[in-house]
Amino acid sequence: MKELNLQKIQNKLRNKFLTSGVKMLGPETIFFSNDTKIGKNVIIEPYVVIGKNVKIGNNVIIKSFSHLESCKIENKVEVGPYARIRPDTILKEGSKIGNFVEIKKSVIGKKSKVNHLSYIGDSNLGKSVNIGAGTITCNYDGVKKSKTKIKDKVFVGSNSSLVAPVTIDQESIIGAGSVITKNVKKKSLALTRSLQTEIKNYKRK
């Protein structure tokens, strides 16, 4: 009986959003909460779960296999596929969250991109920030959680670790494969990388 009731509730919610103009591909695979709020011209692809306290603006695309809870998604945002948006996250207008990205308790600024394979937690990103693949914010030291601040037009190279508390000032660049533990000044290039070693004519023993 409980399963039937849950099914009825979901069907009612799906019909409500379909009637209001939400475009759903495979509505039977999409799950909503009673308090879900969705704006105009929104597309939701199959296999999306929307938890409690989610507000979605206008002209948003939520791609398949994404999970959202307690977050605010502003206008013209693209999420997924395979994205996890955790509580206390705000995705500002025009931002893009790609596949296999987890965002927690963070603000992603206007037109900023976290395209793939990244974890952003307890962070504040400015406008037009680009986060390279495999980047993580190291926000927890086992005792307390600290903040990462990434200001406007910062470019973070792939496979970088940003160890909080840390501030990356505007228009700076983080070289790929870096572990950043100190603040980075405006318009700077910061990288931590050991020298590449090459042994010529090497033969395996």
Strand intervals (E) in 47-108: 49-50, 55-56, 61-62, 67-68, 71-73, 78-79, 83-85, 89-91, 96-104, 107-108
Query: Token pair for residue 16?
Result: 């409500």
Query: Token pair for residue 133?
Result: 């693949």
Helix (H, G, I), strand (E, B) or coil at 10: helix
Tens digit of each residue's pLDDT (9 = 90 or more) over 154-165: 999 999 999 999
Helix (H) or strand (E) holding 44: strand 43-44
For residues 122 and 138, the answer to whether their CB atoms sit within 8 Å is no
Rounded-to-integer distance, Cα 101 and Cα 115, Å: 7
Rounded-to-integer distance, Cα 186 and Cα 112, Å: 18
- At 15, give phi and psi (nearest 5°): -65, -40
Rounded-to-integer distance, Cα 114 and Cα 131, Å: 5
- 67 flagged as catalytic: no
Q: What is the mean pLDDT of residues 182-201?
A: 94
Q: What is the pLDDT of residue 2?
A: 65
Do 1-82 and 105-184 have matching folds? yes
Tens digit of each residue's pLDDT (9 = 90 or more) over 101-131: 999 999 999 999 999 999 999 999 999 999 9
Beta bridge partners of 99: 116
**pLDDT-derived band at 3, boundaries 50, 70, 90:** low
Rounded-to-integer distance, Cα 24 and Cα 42, Å: 9
Residues 6+ apart with CB under 8 A from 189: 172, 173, 175
Q: Is the pLDDT of residue 1 over 70?
A: no
Rounded-to-integer distance, Cα 140 and Cα 121, Å: 9
pTM score, two decimals? 0.93
Helix (H, G, I), strand (E, B) or coil at 16: helix
CATH topology of domain 105-184: UDP N-Acetylglucosamine Acyltransferase; domain 1 (2.160.10)
Q: What is the pLDDT of residue 205?
A: 77
Q: Where are the domains of the chain?
A: 1-82, 105-184
Residues 6+ apart with CB under 8 A from 78: 60, 61, 63, 96, 97
Q: What is the pLDDT of residue 64?
A: 98
Percent of the chain with pLDDT over 70: 99
Q: Is the pLDDT of residue 53 over 70?
A: yes
Helix (H) or strand (E) holding 55: strand 55-56
Strands 49-50 and 61-62 turn out to be unpaired
Catalytic residue among 67, 116, 151, 153: 116
When the candidates are 3.40.50.1000, 2.160.10.10, 3.20.20.20, 3.30.530.20, the CATH number that belongs to 1-82 is 2.160.10.10
